[in-house]
Amino acid sequence: MLFSSLPFLFYFLPIVLILYFIVPKSLKNVVLLASSLFFYGWGEPKYVILMIVSILLGYIFGLLIEKYLNTKKAKVFVILSIVINLLILAYFKYVDFFIGSFNSITGLSIPFLKVSLPVGISFYTFQILSYTIDVYKNQIKAQRNLINLATYIAMFPQLIAGPIVRYADIENQLTKRNHTFAKISEGIKRFSIGLAKKVLLANLLGEVISYYTKTTDPSVIYSWLSALCYSLQIFFDFSGYSDMAIGLGKIFGFDFMENFNYPFISKTITEFWRRWHISLGNWFRDYLYIPCGGNRVSTLRWLINIFIVWFATGFWHGASYNFILWGLFYGFLLVIEKLFTYNYLDSRPLIGHLYVIFITILGFGLFNATDLSTLGLQLANMFALSDIPLLSYETIYYLRSYGVIIIISLIASTPLLKTIVSKLKENEKIKLFIDLVEPLVYVGLFIIVVAYLVDGSFNPFLYFRF
């Protein structure tokens, strides 16, 4: 089920909210868990069983690891937990990729298994892994209450596209959490903003990309326009989802970690990745990079560690070579920055910003490429290496038609508006006015979003495929 769908907004959510707030505290997690499983099963009922099996494995391994903590058995159980979870992920996400690669190398033609990807498997598998590893590291206590652990893993606000919530971060909130007007108000605000980002910006930017992919009137500027729109679309799509997840979490009394912090204002790629999909970056840092030795090793080993992490980051995003190349592309850039250019870029904001925007647009071109020939054609178009004009009639049309949305998107991808509002709020009278108007803006945004949903349009969440 999509957050940005009418069944979610006007059937699922109100029923869950009512049930959640009328049941006693002791049953709130039961309501959350039951609704989460229903939410997950909405699109793919058969994979609810897979999720329950994953939860049970996480639960049992957590208890076993704790029971045998500081013994070899604990190590065996944590390795087993990691291997089993990764095998599940490998089978459901990567098996056909492996078969295809094996066929290419050997010339065989082993038939594909055509396994459909369970939605959100990459996210909840990583949550389970972090849980069992943290128990093994004795950083958290194993959860004895199966309902509570299942609620953590399956909680619908962040189940499908993150943020990847650490058990340690919400361990206490699973049993003791506050439901205050402040938190609910903040939750409503974040949810409304996220929904608007998704429906009013990401979806509309996606329309430009879909026109470009079908165009019979290409141009160099059109290819840059499409690449820019894709970068913005994926940002608003994913950060919009994270906002909605964080907002819903707050309404239900949880504090999930922030997942985005205006990544497009970065001056270096290093900074970009501190601001983009923060929960994934942290996960790989804590559970892969540092266990590999991090930077406290020889230079060669350190470089290898970086490439391992970025290979994994790319591969996590999808079972395809373009994602691996995308990850390694960033790994390479990060190594160059760490060795040579970081200080230079960091001290020259204009050059740094332009560099990050340029790299990001190219990077997402690689991310979006279905195959290398498509990528080659896209790059040839962008750099005027193919036989297309600089500008075309269709390009002008879509620039005119989507110009306002692109400008709004560019502004919304920076903290400009937030800064202006904060400055204005320093004046008491203006603050009062803003306080009065702000909720009306959320209501207005919500009604416009509903209008777009009722009218029916392009609506898939990009990050659901990961």
Are 206 and 233 within 8 A, CB to CB? yes
Which three-class secondary structure state does DSSP give residue 301? Answer: helix
Angle, helices 393-412 vs 220-251, to 10°: value is 30
Helix, strand, coil shares of the chain as percentages rounded to 5?
Answer: 75, 0, 25
Min dist CB 403 to other proteins, Å, is 7
Q: CB within 8 A of 417, min separation 6: which ones?
A: 411
Which residue of 354, 432, 437, 460 would you call a contact of other proteins, by CB under 8 A?
Answer: 432
- How far apart are the C-alpha atoms of 36 and 29, rounded to whole Å? 10
- How far apart are the C-alpha atoms of 237 and 461, rounded to whole Å? 7
Min dist CB 307 to other proteins, Å, is 39
Distance of CA 143 to CAs 52, 65, 276, 436, Å?
16, 11, 30, 44
Q: Does 448 bind other proteins (CB under 8 A)?
A: yes
Which residue of 26, 106, 108, 181 would you call a contact of other proteins, by CB under 8 A?
Answer: 181
Q: Which is nearer to other proteins, 46 or 72 (CB)?
A: 46
Which residue of 376, 415, 439, 460 would you call a contact of other proteins, by CB under 8 A?
Answer: 439
Q: Which is nearer to other proteins, 321 or 458 (CB)?
A: 458
Chain centroid to Cα 37, Å, comes to 20
Taking residues 249 to 288 in sequence order and writing x for each that binds other proteins by CB under 8 A, - otherwise, the string is: ----------------------------------------
Which residue of 24, 26, 46, 178 would you call a contact of other proteins, by CB under 8 A?
Answer: 46
Q: Is 353 in the active site?
A: no
DSSP string, 57-119: HHHHHHHHHHHTTTSHHHHHHHHHHHHHHHHHHIIIIIHHHHHHHHHHHH---PPP--PPPPT
Identify which of 146, 149, 154 has the alpha carbon closest to the alpha carbon of residue 50: 154
Which residue of 71, 101, 343, 401 would you call a contact of other proteins, by CB under 8 A?
Answer: 401
The region of 37-45, 146-154, 239-247, 411-419 touching other proteins under the rule CB under 8 A is 37-45
174, two tokens: 């699973």
Q: Does 42 bind other proteins (CB under 8 A)?
A: yes
Min dist CB 180 to other proteins, Å, is 8
The region of 53-61, 184-192, 261-269, 342-350 touching other proteins under the rule CB under 8 A is 184-192
208, two tokens: 């430009």
Q: Does 402 bind other proteins (CB under 8 A)?
A: yes
- How far apart are the C-alpha atoms of 439 and 303, rounded to whole Å? 49
Q: Does 400 bind other proteins (CB under 8 A)?
A: yes
Q: Does 438 bind other proteins (CB under 8 A)?
A: yes
Q: Does 49 bind other proteins (CB under 8 A)?
A: no
Q: CB within 8 A of 47, min separation 6: which ones?
A: 40, 41, 118, 119
Q: Does 436 bind other proteins (CB under 8 A)?
A: yes
Identify which of 307, 346, 341 has the alpha carbon closest to the alpha carbon of residue 324: 307
Q: Which is nearer to other proteins, 217 or 346 (CB)?
A: 217
187, two tokens: 């939750």
Cis? peptide before 439, omega within 30° of 0: no
Which residue of 446, 458, 464, 465 would you call a contact of other proteins, by CB under 8 A?
Answer: 446
Taking residues 209 to 228 in sequence order and writing x for each that binds other proteins by CB under 8 A, - otherwise, the string is: -----xxxx-----------
List phi, psi (to 5°) of 291: -60, -25
Which residue of 390, 435, 437, 460 would you call a contact of other proteins, by CB under 8 A?
Answer: 435
Residues 85-104 that bind other proteins (CB under 8 A): none
The region of 72-80, 125-133, 369-377, 442-450 touching other proteins under the rule CB under 8 A is 442-450
**Long-range CB contacts (< 8 A, 24+ apart) of 6-13?**
6/450, 6/453, 6/454, 7/42, 8/39, 9/450, 9/453, 12/38, 12/39, 12/42
Min dist CB 448 to other proteins, Å, is 5
Angle, helices 72-89 vs 47-67, to 10°: value is 170
User: Which residue is associated with the tokens 């619908």?
Assistant: 156
Q: Which is nearer to other proteins, 426 or 455 (CB)?
A: 455
Q: Which is nearer to other proteins, 303 or 434 (CB)?
A: 434
The one-letter code for the residue type at 181 is F
The region of 82-90, 208-216, 289-297, 355-363 touching other proteins under the rule CB under 8 A is 208-216
The region of 39-47, 79-87, 304-312, 381-389 touching other proteins under the rule CB under 8 A is 39-47
Q: Does 233 bind other proteins (CB under 8 A)?
A: no
- How far apart are the C-alpha atoms of 24 and 22, rounded to whole Å? 7
Are 40 and 120 within 8 A, CB to CB? yes
The region of 59-67, 75-83, 144-152, 448-456 touching other proteins under the rule CB under 8 A is 448-456
Q: Which is nearer to other proteins, 343 or 401 (CB)?
A: 401
Catalytic residues: 317
Q: Which residues bind other proteins (CB under 8 A)?
A: 1, 5-7, 10-11, 14, 42-46, 180-182, 184-186, 188-189, 192, 204, 214-217, 393-394, 396-397, 400-405, 408, 431-432, 435-436, 438-440, 442-443, 446-448, 450-456
